[in-house]
Amino acid sequence: MSKILYISSEAFPLIKTGGLADVAGSLPTALSNMGQETRLLLPAYTQVMQQVTDTKQLASGDYYGLEVSLLETCLPSSDVPVWLVNCPAAFDRPGGPYLDSNGQPWDDNALRFALFCRVAVDIALNQLKLGWQPDIVHCNDWQSGLVPALLQPFKQRPATVFTIHNLAYQGLFSHQTFLDLGLPADLWHPERLEFYDQLSFIKGGLVYADRINAVSPTYASEILQPEFGNGVDGLLRHRQERLSGILNGIDQTIWNPATDPHLTANYDSTTLKQKRKNKTALQKQLGLPVDARIPLVGMISRMVEQKGLDIILEAMGEIVNLSVQLVILGSGDSHYEMQLVEWASRHPDKLNVVIGYNENLSHLIEAGSDMFLMPSTFEPCGLNQLYSLRYGTLPIVTKVGGLADTVVDANEVNRKNRTANGFIVTEQSASALLTTLHSGLEQYQQKGVWHQLQLTAMESDFSWRRSAEHYLALYQQAMADRNLAAG
């Protein structure tokens, strides 16, 4: 049994902006169910504090001249203890965890997450006298990137693991910020935290963690290439022996069509006919023509370049002329939001766009759609295609990252050997997208073929238990590496 401190800047259901929250809300519980002593460390954002009751103060202190206390609570419907870094000056404010209400990054983000990291380091080194010191510190994305760097000099430190959920976000700040944060001067070096004259939080994890992993095997190999490496592919090639890929799981208690409370009708692979009721409900709710025969394509996404919105918009002129309905839920860059809303206003019988974040509707879209659109330019793992598979909603995806690892194209060979579960767009272009969409629509008309594709999709095993086993093996490797380094 190991003691694991899992550090994340978001965790479902307390606070969520994307896939990291889903992972941080599930993996610690899976590890705990496998007998590991796990603690989840999270900033005490306003939204988090509004949801938790019964907090207990474990420690308090002063970080960067700000009052900080460490509070203990529990993840809802799990017995994993959550430790909240409570610093009202840093985390108790309206807006999101990283962006203000206008969608701009908080201008004190470096300070907020450096403070968060310093509390993590103090827990890891048993400075807060909690009577609990981790064997493993598991960091995630740039917000906890400084932790491995700050722990490195200490002989009695725990082993460190750093997971890359998205290399495109690196936590880059000025040299002045580096000085203001009082980080050890020797860290200002191109082989350490400096990245072309900027402070890089993520390099703290990439350079110093005993083990690094990305959230899918294909993404782990893609980021070694300049095309996907966001300027740190050289560093990653240098650390290649410490880098691996572990596919995310999904929380099957939350994402299960047989029990999902957000659905109009629950179903499983033996009662697939019921799925149609969700389609009708979705069409009604969004004001689309109610017709079970019209194929319905869903999409739920942050509206950013990564998610392939450029080729979707480019293909839209042709899509609206097809016998298909498209439902898009998401928010993000306003130029994407505006263009999509504009298309929807001109073709209300074909396209419905809901701008915003809506957990309930996202479940109904997964269940009510026939296909799910996710033509990302890159995709570290991707969760929505996994939810779609589980809901018998066939994903249309590009062959990148976790999408390539989980979706098997419905070509003739794969259909014959019953491994096909979706549709692959062969390149990042509107014409390739349309070709694949046409193929999907054609197969949709063949009832037997479609039914088999759905069954194969629903049989896939993306349980957290499988992923958690891989993480346990990674922790063992990290501990062995740490021991070797400590001599």
Nearer to ligand ADP, 151 or 250 (CB): 250
- Give yes or no for residue 359 binding ligand ADP (CB under 6 A): yes
- Residue 250 carries which DSSP code? B
Q: Give me the 361-400 binding string for ligand ADP, x by CB under 6 A, dash otherwise.
A: -x------------------xxxx----------------
Token representation of residue 165 = 């959920």
Q: Does 18 bind ligand ADP (CB under 6 A)?
A: yes
Nearer to ligand ADP, 36 or 421 (CB): 421
Of 115 and 400, the one with the shorter C-beta distance to ligand ADP is 400
Beta carbons within 8 Å of 205's beta carbon, 6+ residues apart = 139, 142, 144, 145, 147, 148, 149, 160, 162, 164, 212
CB of 259 to ligand ADP, least distance (A): 17
Look up residue 344 and give its two tokens: 């929807």
Spatial distance between the Cα atoms of 432 and 168, rounded to a whole number of angstroms: 25
Nearer to ligand ADP, 216 or 443 (CB): 216
Which among 18-26, 282-290, 309-317, 425-433 is the span making contact with ligand ADP, rule CB under 6 A? 18-26
Asked if residue 262 binds ligand ADP (CB under 6 A), the reply is no
138 three-class SS: strand
Cα separation, 392 vs 366, whole angstroms: 9
Query: Quick check: 245 and 224 in contact, CB under 8 A?
Result: no
Residue 85: CB atoms within 10 A of its CB come to 25
Strand partners for 38? 4
Do the Cβ atoms of 235 and 167 come closer than 8 Å?
no
Instruction: Between 133 and 230, name the residue whose CB sits nearer to ligand ADP.
Output: 230
Would you say 178 or 336 has its CB closer to ligand ADP? Answer: 336
Minimum CB separation from ligand ADP for residue 381, in Å? 6
Which of 140, 283 has the CB closer to ligand ADP?
A: 140
CB of 152: closest distance to ligand ADP in angstroms?
Answer: 29
**Of 359, 363, 309, whose CA–CA distance to 332 is shortest?**
309
H-helix or E-strand containing 352?
Answer: strand 351-355
What value does the CA radius of gyration of the chain take, rounded to a whole number of Å? 23
Give yes or no for a contact between 397 and 456, defined as CB atoms under 8 angstroms apart. no
Determine the interface stretch with ligand ADP among 25-33, 129-137, 269-277, 356-364 (rule: CB under 6 A). Answer: 356-364
Least distance (Å) between residue 138 CB and ligand ADP: 18
Residue window 107-146: x/- pattern of binding to ligand ADP, with contact defined by CB under 6 A: ----------------------------------------
374, 404 Cβ separation under 8 angstroms: no
User: Please, how many CA atoms are within 13 Å of residue 243, restricted to the half-sphere of its CB?
Assistant: 24
CB of 255 to ligand ADP, least distance (A): 8
Tokens 């430190």 appear where?
Answer: 157
Among residues 301, 377, 388, 421, which is the contact residue for ligand ADP, using CB under 6 A? 301
Least distance to ligand ADP from the beta carbon of 101, Å? Answer: 17
Residue carrying structure tokens 């996404």: 301
Residue 481: which of 152, 254, 248 has the closest Cα? 152
- Write the single-letter amino acid at 106: W
Segment interacting with ligand ADP (CB under 6 A) among 44-52, 120-128, 355-363, 468-476: 355-363
Q: Which is nearer to ligand ADP, 207 or 353 (CB)?
A: 353
Query: At residue 158, what are phi and psi to the nearest 5 degrees?
Result: -70, 165
Q: State the Cα–Cα distance between residues 427 and 430, nearest whole angstrom.
A: 9
Kindly state the smallest distance separating residue 105's Cβ from ligand ADP, in Å.
17
Site for ligand ADP in 216-235 (CB under 6 A): none
Q: Exactly one of 43, 330, 375, 392 binds ligand ADP (CB under 6 A); which one?
A: 330
Distance CA 83, CA 139 (A): 14
For ligand ADP, which is the closer residue by CB, 86 or 388?
388
Q: Tell me the closest approach of the beta carbon of residue 354 to ligand ADP, in angstroms.
A: 8
**Interacting stretch for ligand ADP, rule CB under 6 A, among 35-43, 50-58, 300-308, 420-428?**
300-308
- By beta carbon distance, the residue nearest ligand ADP is 19
Among 75, 114, 128, 329, indicate the residue that binds ligand ADP (CB under 6 A): 329
Nearer of residues 295 and 401 to ligand ADP, judged by Cβ: 401
- Using the rule CB under 6 A, which residue among 221, 252, 358, 460 binds ligand ADP? 358
Residue ranges of alpha helices (H) inside 241-358 are 275-286, 309-319, 334-346
State the nearest-atom distance from the C-beta of 384 to ligand ADP, in Å. 4
130 close to 98: Cβ distance less than 8 angstroms: no
Q: Is 374 helix (H, G, I), strand (E, B) or coil?
A: strand
Tell me how far, at minimum, the Cβ of 331 lies from ligand ADP, in Å.
5
Given 5, 6, 10, 22, the residue binding ligand ADP (CB under 6 A) = 22
Largest CA distance in the chain: 69
In the complex, the residues that contact ligand ADP under the rule CB under 6 A are 18-19, 22, 300-302, 329-331, 357-359, 362, 381-384
